Amino acid sequence: MKKIWVIARREFLVTVTRKAYILTVLGMPVLFGGIFALSFLTRGTMEKAFGASEPIAVIDRAGLLDFTLLQKIPKETQKEKDADLFKEPSVRKASSMIPYQDLDQALEEVKAGRLSSVFLIERDYLATGRIVAYSPEKGMFSDLAPPDRGRLFDLIRISLIKDQVDSQTRDRILSPGNLLQKKVTKQGQVQSAGDPLQKAGKFFGPFSMFLLLTISIFLSSGYLLQGIAEEKQNRVIEVILSSVRPTQLLLGKILGLGAAGLLQVVLYVGLLFVPAVTVFALFKVSLTSLLFSLVYYVLGYLLFAGLMAGTGILGNSPQESGQLSALWTLTSMIPMFMLAPISEAPDSWLARGLSYFPLTAPVTMLLRLSTSQVPVIDVMISIVLLVVGIYFSIKGAAKIFRAGSLMYGKRPSIPEIWRWLKEA
Amino acid sequence: MHDPPAIAIHSVRKAFSSLVAVDDVSFAVEPGEIFGLLGPNGAGKTTLLRLIMDIFRPDAGSVEIMGRRPSDEDKNHIGYLPEERGLYTRQRVLPLVEYFARLKGLSERQARVNALGWLEKMEMISVKDRKIQELSKGNQQKIQFIATVVSEPQILILDEPFTGLDPVNARSLITVIRELSATGKTIVLSTHQMSLVESLCRRVFMIHKGKQVLYGDLEQIRREYSDHAVLVRSEADYNLCPWVVKFASDGRGKKIFLKNGAAPRDLLAWLLETGAEVESFERAITPLEDIFIKLVEGKH
């Protein structure tokens, strides 16, 4: 234990005093700040790209539109409101709508950039429903339908029925309902779905933890790979293995470099997400969620650190080791590709299976915890299997370390690695 | 009661895939001796040393340290200097030496005391705050040696310890090795510098293509491999001597091959009888280097 501590302390101190480490810690916030600043400065360009800031022209050859009804249509339709949670408000802002008679003139205005698009309602619209939309050539977004078609359709609807229904019915046609969501629990109790902030918090709390976990895995495994590759290259590993067992070396490295990686994450939280505590409070993230997030964060790190260290020793260079370890990184990301099915059915066989499989368990459980009450038995099984996975990953890495750390020039074959793992 | 050998290798075999690096090798190193481990490149020396260090485990046979199977505790009592330097090049000298001492189980305070003591002894105290990469190759080798002995282990395994050292530093390192041996430390010396083995070691073991080719007392081995001849610096006419089979010029005089049954003293008596002037007279013992080359080339 004493030797593990000696190694961990050295790894931590050497890493956190490295120029590269300090530059990364200081440089990343600058980079992120730069990206945010750039995105802020280019907002106008985005609006222009989506044609939201310039008015649109409508040529009504069917003669059915009543433009005076435009004021009855809300600036944002209900459909847009529902989808608005993750959208940039500036991009969704509706453009004004101007009636035009002459198509050529309207197209000239589009060309000059004074109109964002032109809608031509054909004479035979009632029979065919045909509307032609003209929008300017704008690279990859040119083929997207103009964004303000929803308001035009609303205008068409109420123009068509204006003489047949009263104003209340017209409003309901435009906005059919304001949903009040309720949940029926497994015990049959009816509960309020909670306010949007709470809902967002339940997702964003664990999801932020997931992001931190991912960052930590990448950073710490990067240090592990670099450190191990360096020691293999400059032959220090042979001297160290004459003083300590491979397992001690591995554990010391995992703890020391893990601590350095965690420190970096903590610093980012401090620098980039300064209001993290406020955000958690605002989103009313439950303590249980945070606690479990932390448990899966630590277990996930230990599992991947073992795997990365074992894989790192197999390569002949940091680049080669990095390529090999991508196998684990990609596997850990599988739940992210299954985000929708897991969120929709958190107790399905898919979600449970991924929760039990150690490589995917941390991310899957974080997602499940954010969407539902996970049965205690699932949490227990998942944690036990993760701990078993950690044991085998570190034990296996130590065996690979013993055999592979002094192997130069040639990458071992799969049967060779298998033989090392079977050796006592 | 007789002390067990410091290191005992019993019928050890180690293979890497189809390559047998060490094949049925046995030898013992007695406590307090300087033992020479010889062999051409790729013979299996480094594998043997790694087996002793418990970095590798044998496929068959066993390794014993002080009469028992190697344990974690034994790692604290064996210092290992590998053939290729293994130092953190970006780290400063003193913390690096302290770190290696701490890995051998020394307390923080003891590690500092020993590190400063050895840096002083090896005349490296002036560079204690310098980074390893700023030092010359010779000085890096001295730091590697200090890192090996800083915990004052009972057994020292030195694989080519004189690499990169100039004659002055090599000589001072020889003195230190002799001093360590005088204090009872067991030293295994692996080197290609045969003259150093001849001056430092009493017993040697030679491995070639994974197999034992030589093992035992160095003087006895040299006698066994020597011709029945003497080296004489004299103007005498050897054609007239009844004990001589043939003779040939040697850099140090003439090498006189004696008949079976004739002893060097018979030749010396004949020289004195003839009244020839004799500047030097010595037994023609084959140098270890010649034995080494003979064995290696003979095995090819």
Does residue A220 or residue A152 have the better pLDDT? A152
Predicted pLDDT of residue A51:
46
* Region A2-30 average pLDDT: 85
Contact across the interface for B80 and A242, Cβ inside 8 Å: yes
Q: What is the ipTM of this complex?
A: 0.82
Query: What was the pLDDT predicted at A89?
Result: 40
- Check residue A278 and give its pLDDT: 56
Radius of gyration of chain A (CA): 29
In the predicted structure, residue B153 carries a pLDDT above the cut 70: yes
* pLDDT(B34) > 90: yes
Between B133 and A374, name the one with better pLDDT: B133
Does B55 contact A238 at a Cβ distance shorter than 8 Å? yes
Q: Do B55 and A236 touch (CB under 8 A)?
A: no
Alpha helices in chain B (DSSP H): 45-52, 72-75, 93-103, 108-121, 137-149, 167-182, 194-200, 218-224, 264-274, 288-299
Q: Decide: B13 and B61 in contact? Cβ < 8 Å.
A: yes
- pLDDT greater than 50 at residue B182: yes
Residue B173, pLDDT > 80, answer yes
Per CB-CB distance under 8 Å, the chain A contacts of B133 are none
Give per-residue pLDDT as tens, A87-112.
444 344 556 888 998 899 989 988 88
3-class SS of residue B76: coil
What is the mean predicted confidence (pLDDT) over B52-75?
A: 88
Q: What is the pLDDT of residues A208-229, one digit of tens each?
A: 666 666 676 667 777 777 778 7
Q: Cβ B84–A14 below 8 Å, yes or no?
A: no
List the single residue in B75, B84, B87 with the smallest CB-CB distance to A242: B75
Give the pLDDT of residue B11. 93
Mean pLDDT along residues B171-175: 90
pLDDT digits (tens, 9 = 90+) for B73-131: 888 999 999 888 888 888 899 999 999 999 999 999 999 999 999 999 999 999 999 99
Which chain A residues contact residue B50 at CB under 8 A? 238, 406
pLDDT, tens digit, 9 for 90 and up, residues B266-292: 888 888 888 888 888 888 888 787 888
Testing the interface with B: which of A7, A232, A242 to mutate, by most B Cβ within 10 A? A242
d(CA B81, CA B131): 20
Residue A42 has pLDDT above 70, yes or no: no
Query: What distance in Å separates the CA atoms of residue B112 and residue B106, rounded to the nearest whole number?
Result: 9
**Closest-CA distance of chain A to residue B126, Å:** 23
CB contacts < 8 A (A, B):
61
Mean pLDDT over all residues of chain B? 88
B17: closest chain A residue by CA: A416
| Percent with pLDDT over 90 in chain A | 8
Q: How far is A361 from chain B (nearest CA, A)?
A: 35
More confident residue, A355 or A234: A355
Contact A242 B102 (CB under 8 A): no
d(CA A235, nearest CA chain B) in Å: 4
Residues above pLDDT 70, as percent of chain A: 73
Judged by average pLDDT, the poorest of A87-91, A190-194, A242-246, B62-66 is A87-91
Q: What is the 3-state secondary structure (H, E, C) of chain A?
A: CHHHHHHHHHHHHHHHCCHHHHHHHHHHHHHHHHHHHHHHHCHHHHHHHCCCCCCEEEEECCCCCCHHHHHHCCCCCHHHHHHHHHCCHHHHCCCCEEEECCHHHHHHHHHHCCCCEEEEECCCHHHHCCEEEECCCCHHHCCCCCCCHHHHHHHHHHHHHCCCCCHHHHHHHHCCCCCCCEEECCCCCEEECCCHHHHHHHHHHHHHHHHHHHHHHHHHHHHHHHHHHHHHHCCHHHHHHCCCCHHHHHHHHHHHHHHHHHHHHHHHHHHCCCCHHHHHHHHCCCHHHHHHHHHHHHHHHHHHHHHHHHHHCCCCCHHHHHHHHHHHHHHHCHHHHCHHHHHHCCCCHHHHHHHHCCCCHHHHHHHHHHHCCCCHHHHHHHHHHHHHHHHHHHHHHHHHHHHHCCCCCCCCCHHHHHHHHHCC
Contacts of B91 in chain A (CB under 8 A): 14
Give the pLDDT of residue A276: 53
Mean pLDDT of A242-253: 87
**pLDDT level of residue A81 (50, 70, 90 thresholds):** very low
Contact list in B for residue A243 (CB cut-off 8 A) is 75-76, 100, 103-104
Q: How far is A315 from chain B (nearest CA, A)?
A: 18
